[in-house]
Structure formats: structure tokens, C-alpha cells
Amino acid sequence: MQIGIFETSEEASAAAARGVVDLLARKPNATLGVATGSTPEGLYSELREAHAAGRFTLEGSAAFALDEYVGIADGHPEKYRNVLRRELVGPEKTGLTEAGLRTPVSSDADPHLAAGQYEASIAAAGGVDLQILGIGANGHIGFNEPGGSLVSRTRVEVLSRRTRTDNARFFDGDVGKVPSRCITQGLGTIMEARSLLLLAFGAQKAEAVRQLIEGAISAKWPATVAQMHPDLTVFVDAEAAELLEYADLYRERWSLA
């Protein structure tokens, strides 16, 4: 595990973007796993700038979303396919095409069937080269809530009250408007990506970051399973790192890497 601690989320996002740009330079058409929410917005902004400067493109690449709400209208602005379109799709953004953006078909009459089909589509594409992740305040990655299997596959999940409350800011502050179910890549699915890149910003993520990096592997904190991944890089700002016991050691390691 590599841990980069930066003073600001902007600095952390820029450093993470350099890693993504470097991957695509080494392996054109690499397959990405892409997260939503506010955390990766700075990273995606950096990637758009790199594309505009001619240093980066997702043209010819596939990008698989981590998750999608079940029952949300196709035209809803917070449907994750629409969020990712705004961030990544088009020659004026990152070069990712509409066909290259892969998301679960959460409007399917049988979301459980759709989840299985999405899992199969990731495998058929040869898997994910680099999975971008955020982390919830309760330790979820994707929408894998506490108490689930650490080897789960893509499936329908029920969102916790904490997650729905945290996401209400995207739905006019009304938790009642936040869908209660989703299709999410499972922890086992996520762990099969060849590399993981996790971002966490703000004091509200500090306990989850402490558990992720220094805690025991436990279904209570789903993200802790990532400790077992051979190629995990964590990018955090100073506030998210404030509870880390060995923060000075992590800074020294990063400076010498």
C-alpha cells in the first residue's frame, strides 16, 4: 500500500491524475473503473485538462462505473451514467465515447439479472486495469455497505441510512428522494482490478481512512479488504489523514518512493 498525504484535496487530486495519465501513456486503451460522488471531481477535472493539452485520452478505452441507483429515471441528473457523461464523455472532455462508458442497466425489470450481466461484461472486457475509488464515512467502497461479504460480486444492494443521508445533498437535501437500492460492483469484483486508486478528503472521512489503513480487516469497515490488494495507492488530504498514527512514516515513504 502506498499512501500519499497532501495538504489539500487539489494537490492530492493532481497527484492521482498523474498516475492515471502515466498508466494510459504506458498502456493506451487501458480499462478504467470510475467512481462518482464529489470526491473524484478534482481528479476528473485534472484529466480533462490533460486531455485538452494533448497528454491524455480515453478514446478507444472502456470505463466501467462502480455502481448505479436502481429505479432512478434515465433522464435524472444524478443517475450515475449521466454524472459520468458530464465528467468524462466526449472529445471536449477526455475522449471517452458513449459506447466506452459502461454502467449497470438499473432500469431493467430484474435488477438482479442486470447485476449478473454487468459482472459478466467486466470479465468479457478483460477486467479493469485501474479502479478509481472513493470511501464513504461508514467505510463503504462502491456501494458495499457494512456487514456484507468481503468476497461479494456485482449485485443489488440496499443503501444504509447513513449513505442516503450523505447523498441527500445531490437530491435537494431530501433523503426521501435518494433511491434506497443500487447495483454495485462487489468487493470481490473490485479486488480483481489490477490496480486500485483511492481518494479521501475532509475530516468526515478521517475515521474511515484510519480504519482502511491501520485497522483490522472487517466487514464492519468494507474498504479494509483493500489492504489485501497488491497494488493500492491512497491519496488523502491533511484533514482525512488526521487520525493516522503513522502519518509521518507514510509521508517519509512517499517522499522517497
User: What's the grid cell of residue 16?
Assistant: 492521482
pLDDT confidence of residue 169: 93
User: What does the mean pLDDT of the chain come to?
Assistant: 96
pLDDT at position 108 over 80: no
CA dist 34 and 64 (Å) reads 6
CA atoms within a 13 Å half-sphere pointing along the CA-CB vector of 136: 21
pLDDT in tens, 184-241: 999 999 999 999 999 999 999 999 999 999 999 999 999 999 999 999 999 999 999 9
pLDDT in tens, 109-121: 899 999 999 999 9
Q: Which residues of 175-199 are buried (b: 16+ CB within 10 A; e: fewer)?
A: eeebbbbbbbbbbbbbbbbbbbbbb
CA dist 60 and 137 (Å) reads 35
pLDDT at position 68 over 80: yes
pLDDT confidence of residue 183: 96
CA dist 37 and 97 (Å) reads 21
Those residues with Cβ within 8 angstroms of residue 72's Cβ, 6 or more apart along the chain or in another chain: 78, 79, 106, 107, 179
Tell me phi and psi for residue 68, to 5 degrees: -160, 145
pLDDT confidence of residue 118: 97
Rounded to an integer, the average pLDDT of 135-157 is 96
Fold of 2-255: Rossmann fold (3.40.50)
CA dist 21 and 33 (Å) reads 14
The residue with cell 444492494 is 157
Q: Which residues of 219-254 are buried (b: 16+ CB within 10 A; e: fewer)?
A: bebbbbbbeebeebbbbbbbbbbbbbeebeebbeeb
pLDDT at position 107 over 90: no
